[in-house]
């Protein structure tokens, strides 16, 4: 992936020339989800009249459980997905196995998966149930996949979403908002003390002419 400035340097033209080509449709820039323009290796080959490299896009299966105690279910989840993939005539190129809460969007393997989708490397994403990808926000993630031409295939077996995980996620939500509430209470006390000190200061000044 090249930024506009990096790509311009690679092919020996100015940024303004690239912008004009983009407007004219001569060499159209790709865009990230946030709207930032970028170019890739295929664009470089086009601009330099080089042979196009066949970039094989891969099928990825993603499995997740919330805690190490559920590790056996991680293997069961994979086994179920393997049988499902065979029934759908899907050949999985990569298996991603991860332990982490469904409310945590900073999971390392999850983020690497999202980066690969954005870079156009994934043709199909196979998951057992939509909350394996994320407990909330699945529709947004699915939209991101569709925008980058990644098909999302959901096996949708409810038994792979244990009630225990739902309880853990709810407890995480309660803990998160409890911490925020506690922080707000501390902030309010600090603010009230500051206001009291502010009101007391003028009176103390008046008593000492």
| Strand 94-99 to 58-65 pairing | parallel
Asked if 22 and 28 count as a contact pair (C-beta separation under 8 A), the reply is: yes
Alpha-carbon torsion angle 45, 47, 49, 51, nearest 10: 10
pLDDT of res. 160: 44
3-class secondary-structure state, position 102 = coil
Crossing angle, helix 4-11 and helix 15-24, to 10 degrees?
100
Tokens standing for residue 67: 């805690």
* DSSP secondary structure of 181-203: HHHHHHHHHHHHHHHHHHHHHHH
pLDDT of res. 31: 82
CA 164 to chain centre: 24
Average confidence score pLDDT of the chain:
80
Percent of the chain with pLDDT over 70: 71
Indicate the pTM of the whole model.
Answer: 0.55
Q: If pLDDT is split at 50, 70 and 90, which confidence band does 94 have?
A: very high
pLDDT in tens, 47-70: 887 665 545 789 999 999 988 988
pLDDT in tens, 67-93: 898 888 899 999 999 999 999 888 899
Q: If pLDDT is split at 50, 70 and 90, which confidence band does 183 have?
A: low
Tell which wins on pLDDT, 25 or 209. 25
CB count within 10 Å of CB 93 equals: 14
Kindly state the DSSP code that residue 99 receives in the 8-state scheme.
Answer: E
pLDDT above 70 for 133: yes
pLDDT above 70 for 188: no
Asked if 104 and 134 count as a contact pair (C-beta separation under 8 A), the reply is: no
pLDDT above 70 for 147: yes
Question: Per CATH, which fold does 58-160 belong to?
Answer: Rossmann fold (3.40.50)
């Amino acid at each position: 992936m090249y930024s506009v400035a990096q790509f311009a340097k690679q092919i020996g033209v100015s940024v303004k020339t690239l912008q004009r080509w983009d407007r004219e449709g001569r060499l159209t820039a790709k865009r990230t989800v946030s709207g930032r323009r970028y170019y890739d290796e295929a664009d470089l080959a086009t601009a330099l009249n080089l042979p196009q490299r066949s970039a094989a896009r891969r099928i990825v299966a993603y499995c997740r459980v919330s805690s190490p105690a559920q590790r056996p279910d991680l293997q069961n989840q994979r086994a179920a997905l393997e049988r499902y993939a065979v029934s759908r005539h899907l050949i999985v190129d990569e298996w991603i196995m991860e332990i982490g809460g469904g409310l945590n969007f900073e999971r390392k393997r999850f983020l690497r998966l999202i980066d690969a989708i954005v870079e156009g490397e994934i043709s199909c994403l196979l998951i057992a149930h939509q909350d394996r990808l994320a407990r909330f926000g699945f529709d947004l993630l699915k939209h991101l996949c569709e925008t980058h031409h990644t098909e999302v295939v959901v096996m949708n077996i409810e038994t792979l979403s244990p009630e225990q995980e739902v309880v853990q996620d709810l407890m995480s939500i309660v803990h998160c908002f409890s911490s925020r509430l506690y922080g707000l209470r501390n902030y309010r006390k600090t603010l009230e003390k500051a206001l009291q000190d502010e009101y007391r200061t003028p009176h103390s000044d008046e008593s000492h002419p």
